[in-house]
Amino acid sequence: MKFTVLGSGAVGGVPLYGCDCPACQRSRAVSSYIRRPASALIEHGNTRIALDAGLADFGTRFPSGSLDAVLLTHYHMDHVAGLFEIRWGKGASLAIHGPVDEHGCDDLHTHPGILDFSATLEAFQCFEISDIRITPLPLIHSRPTLGYFIEVDGARIAYLTDTVDLPAATLAFLQTHRPDLMLLDCSHPPSDTPRRNHNDLNLALSLHQKIAPLETWLTHISHDLDAWLMAHPEPLSRGVSIAQDGQVWRGLV
């Protein structure tokens, strides 16, 4: 089993267009600090599943037939942009699983091309793709959004972006089915004013405490949070780290 962070960035990414803050300057100088749209890939045996499709070069990275499915968290552009080009392609259809959202994104649903949106997911109703077991978990965001609890090869991964805090039922599920690896939205530096659509660092750390996974990787990171972390280099809580594009987790070893 191999889990790869394809992108760890908030909307706009890092570097942010036109920004000269320390984090954006650093990522222009050292490419490992670049943050692309938040997304990931799970591979096990011959099965490959993408989590979100916001990468501009999604179709180049995943040629026709190379993916079994895409799990969409929601229909904001930074999570679906890569689908707009490949939908006009030829060959096998690509199954797109995601939340029920009658508006979707632009005309994706009215002109799906080779994309197959026919599967409808229900919260907490698990399903399988090959031998990967997936449970959709409701999140709290500005439009219908699902996180995913993924059981593969004896490992448990929770993928939780975009969200601010968690619904009580999702939190209870995660406390019962404790993940080994949790990817958690943390777009903002610590803040005294409550955020509306994404976690700040304080909220993300408190969710890590409540759920107690073996490892938490914070994702959907903004340039503001990167700049704050550069000014506050002390380690985060035990078990918590900041995800990086290209980072790989290979399960419990």
In terms of CB distance, is 151 or 224 closer to Zn ion?
Answer: 224
Within 192-231, the residues that bind Zn ion by CB under 5 A are 223
Distance from chain centroid for Cα 56 = 15
Report if residue 156 touches Zn ion, rule: CB under 5 A.
no
CA nearest to 158, candidates 141, 133, 183: 183
Report if residue 114 touches Zn ion, rule: CB under 5 A.
no
Binding segment for Zn ion among 1-9, 14-22, 41-49, 201-209 (CB under 5 A)?
14-22
CA nearest to 98, candidates 183, 13, 169, 159: 159
φ, ψ of residue 200 in degrees (nearest 5): -95, 175
Six-digit token string for 91: 């060959």
Could you tell me if 159 and 76 are in contact, meaning their C-beta atoms sit under 8 angstroms apart?
A: no
Smallest separation (angstroms) from Zn ion to the CB of 253: 31
Q: 69-71 and 94-97 as β-strands: parallel, antiparallel, unpaired?
A: parallel
Binding segment for Zn ion among 94-102, 117-125, 162-170, 211-219 (CB under 5 A)?
162-170
Question: From the list 26, 35, 36, 76, which residue makes contact with Zn ion (rule: CB under 5 A)?
Answer: 76
Residue type, 130: S
> Cα separation of 1 and 26, whole Å?
32
Report if residue 78 touches Zn ion, rule: CB under 5 A.
yes
Smallest separation (angstroms) from Zn ion to the CB of 110: 21
Binding segment for Zn ion among 22-30, 82-90, 102-110, 239-247 (CB under 5 A)?
22-30
Site for Zn ion, rule CB under 5 A:
16, 19, 21, 24, 76, 78, 162, 223
